[in-house]
């Protein structure tokens, strides 16, 4: 989405520049492609030859269409009509219905057809986009299976019942595919007057950047493969054939559905320094001496506690913090909001160019400004990666009242 997309931009512009390792963009692209193909081949070999058989031996099965019983097929058919078909929008390709805009890394199906539709129109191909609200894996009822856990892929369901979407026509082939797009934001920080506004304007286009890779199922016909490559202005060097679902990441929900702790890695519990185990005040511990935390082997909770306690402590007068990646649900941001609402001087340096977290960071920046916090956006031309936090607290000493600074460096 970023690095290879950048290489392809160089190739498109005909760049002849040689990198510091003495390679041209063409050679780097070739090497990256070879390495990526080897990794993907190994990934699917592991999935098909080890993971699936291993799960099957433990009574956790992914059923192929050819192995569905009549009762299973009837249940799946009902599921298709109830849960799947209402949210699908098949698009027959003809002069009045051009190839649709395909979202970055979304699951889609290319359909080969023959015959005429209900309006008497002929169409050789259609596209069915699978909305992300649909689960990529469906669990079958226990009473329909001879094992404890049985699943079917959404792709299998669509393959079996896609004909229901094209009344009067014959489906010759149904092939899943996914396109990866250039997801970099084209922002010249030196030229724009308002970086935040510019990024907000660029974000909606991120899902529709130039295509850089096409993944298709290994059963995709040569004709359909060439057609798809042409639609995305890609060549054979950008094509990846995979022996299974085109997005294995969406299978990560399955372990949550199967309560078999014996098949999972044991939960890791990060440690905590002894100095923090016997006191409720993080300020008392820090005042006694520096504390070193080794993440992720030691807990991040002390950092959260520091900011959480600072937000409510009446002696704390100011909090200053840098923010790189936050996510949409951040306890640290919630503490900063609360601190500002409690009347503390809150200053936050928000990095707007945190790739793929720009939208979340802009959202938090807006919320912080709404409660009176000071928000700044780093230094033009540089990216703020450092995680720093400073809490200024009024404390009593032998010499009288003083402001003490507590600093976290990450």
SS3 of 350-387: the string is ECCCCCCCHHHHHHHHHHHHHCCCEEECCCCCCCCCCC
Residues 217 and 285 in one domain: no
**What's the average model confidence in pLDDT over 87-110?**
86
Give the pLDDT band of residue 37 (cuts 50, 70, 90): very high
Tell the burial category of 311 from Cβ atoms under 10 Å away from its Cβ (0-12, 13-18, 19+). Answer: buried
- Which of 355, 353, 339 shows the shortest CA–CA distance to 307? 339
Co-location of 257 and 294 in the same domain: no
**Are β-strands 125-129 and 91-92 bridged in parallel, bridged antiparallel, or unpaired?**
antiparallel
Q: What is the largest CA-CA distance in the chain?
A: 93
pLDDT per position as a tens digit, 335-383: 999 999 999 999 998 877 656 667 677 778 889 889 999 988 877 677 7
Specify the pLDDT at position 124: 85
Single out the residue of 409, 197, 405, 159 nearest to residue 287, CA to CA. 405
Query: Number of folded domains in the chain?
Result: 2
- 401: CATH: 3.30.870.10
Q: For position 120, what pLDDT does the model report?
A: 61
Least confident range from 322-326, 336-340, 343-347, 405-409: namely 322-326
Last residue of one domain, picked from the residues 263, 282, 297: 263
pLDDT at 193: 47
Q: How far apart are CA 282 and CA 59, in angstroms?
A: 49
Query: Residue 352 has what pLDDT?
Result: 73
Q: What is the pLDDT of residues 258-275, one digit of tens each?
A: 999 999 998 888 988 888
Mean of per-residue pLDDT scores for the chain: 86
pLDDT given for residue 401 in this prediction:
86
242, 263, 284 — which closes off a domain? 263
- The confidence score (pLDDT) of residue 118 equals 62
Burial class of residue 126 (count of CB atoms within 10 Å of its CB; 0-12, 13-18, 19+): buried
Choice among 97, 295, 374, 385 that is catalytic: 385
- CA separation (Å) from 268 to 63, 241, 254, 265? 32, 36, 20, 8
Q: Are residues 254 and 287 in the same domain?
A: no
pLDDT of residue 93: 84
Q: What's the pLDDT at 313?
A: 94
Catalytic annotation present for 294: no
97: how many CB neighbours lie within 10 A of its CB?
13
* pLDDT confidence tier of residue 199, bands split at 50, 70 and 90: low
Residue 268 lies in a domain: no
Assess whether pLDDT exceeds 80 at residue 119.
no
Higher pLDDT pick, 73 / 187: 73
Same domain for 280 and 258: no
Residues 141-157: tens digit of each pLDDT: 999 999 999 999 999 99
In a domain, 61, yes or no: yes
Do 32 and 156 belong together in one domain? Answer: yes
Residues 163 and 209 both lie in one domain: yes
| Residue 44 falls inside a structural domain | yes
Considering only residues 207 and 181, tell me which one the structure prediction assigns the higher pLDDT: 181
Query: Are residue 80 and residue 209 in the same domain, yes or no?
Result: yes
Mean pLDDT value across residues 12-34: 85
pLDDT for 38 beyond 90: yes
Confirm if 122 and 240 have CB atoms less than 8 A apart. Answer: no
Task: Give the pLDDT mean for 9-25.
Answer: 82
Task: Give yes or no: residues 74 and 94 share one domain.
Answer: yes
Give the structural domain span for 56: 2-263
Do 299 and 403 share a domain, yes or no?
yes
Q: Which of 263, 298, 331 is the last residue of a domain?
A: 263
Mean local confidence (pLDDT), 318-346: 89
Tell me, what CATH number does 225's domain have? 3.30.1840.10
Between 267 and 34, whose confidence is greater?
34
Q: Please indicate, yes or no, if residue 46 is contained in any of the structural domains.
A: yes
Residue 50 CA to residue 39 CA, distance in Å, equals 16
Q: Which residues pair with 394 in a beta bridge?
A: 403
% of the chain at pLDDT higher than 90? 51
pLDDT higher than 50, residue 114: yes
pLDDT of residue 192: 45
147 Cβ neighbours under 8 A, 6+ residues apart = 59, 60, 61
Say yes or no: 280 and 258 in one domain: no
- CA-wise closest residue to 340 among 358, 363, 357, 365: 365
Strand partners, 127: 91, 110
């Amino acid at each position: 989405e970023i690095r290879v997309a950048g290489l392809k931009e160089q190739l498109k512009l005909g760049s002849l520049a040689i990198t510091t390792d003495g390679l041209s963009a063409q050679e780097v692209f070739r090497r990256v492609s070879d390495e990526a193909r080897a990794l993907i081949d190994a990934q699917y070999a592991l999935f098909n030859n080890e993971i699936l058989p291993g799960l099957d031996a433990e009574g956790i099965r992914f059923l192929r269409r050819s192995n569905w019983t009549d009762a299973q097929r009837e249940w799946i058919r009902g599921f298709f009509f109830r849960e799947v078909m209402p949210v699908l929008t098949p698009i027959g390709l003809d002069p009045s219905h051009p190839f649709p805009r395909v979202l970055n890394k979304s699951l889609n199906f290319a359909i080969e057809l023959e015959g005429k539709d209900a309006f008497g129109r002929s169409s050789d191909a259609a596209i069915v986009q699978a909305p992300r609200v649909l689960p990529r894996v469906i669990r079958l009822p226990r009473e329909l299976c001879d094992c404890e856990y049985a699943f079917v892929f959404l792709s299998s369901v669509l393959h079996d019942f896609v004909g229901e979407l094209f009344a009067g026509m014959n489906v010759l082939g149904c092939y899943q595919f996914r396109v990866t797009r250039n997801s970099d934001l084209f922002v010249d920080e030196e030229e724009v007057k308002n970086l935040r506004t510019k990024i907000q304007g660029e974000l909606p286009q991120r899902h529709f950047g130039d295509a850089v890779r096409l993944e298709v199922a290994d059963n995709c016909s040569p004709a359909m493969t060439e057609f798809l490559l042409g639609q995305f202005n890609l060549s054979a060097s950008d094509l990846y054939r995979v022996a299974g679902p085109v997005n294995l990441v969406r299978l990560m929900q399955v372990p949550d559905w199967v309560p078999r702790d014996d098949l999972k890695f044991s939960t890791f519990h990060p440690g905590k320094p002894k100095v923090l185990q016997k006191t409720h005040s993080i300020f008392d511990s820090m005042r006694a001496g520096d504390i070193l935390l080794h993440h992720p082997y030691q807990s991040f909770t002390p950092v959260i506690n520091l900011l959480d306690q600072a937000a409510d402590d009446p002696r704390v007068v100011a909090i200053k913090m840098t923010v790189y990646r936050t996510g949409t649900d951040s306890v640290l941001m919630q503490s900063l909001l609360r601190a500002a609402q409690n009347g503390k001087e809150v200053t936050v340096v928000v990095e707007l160019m945190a790739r793929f977290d720009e939208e979340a960071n802009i959202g938090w920046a807006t919320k912080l400004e709404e409660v009176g916090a000071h928000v700044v956006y780093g230094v033009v031309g540089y990216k703020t990666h450092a995680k720093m936090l400073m809490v200024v607290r009024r404390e009593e000493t032998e010499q009288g009242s003083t402001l003490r600074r507590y600093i976290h460096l990450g």
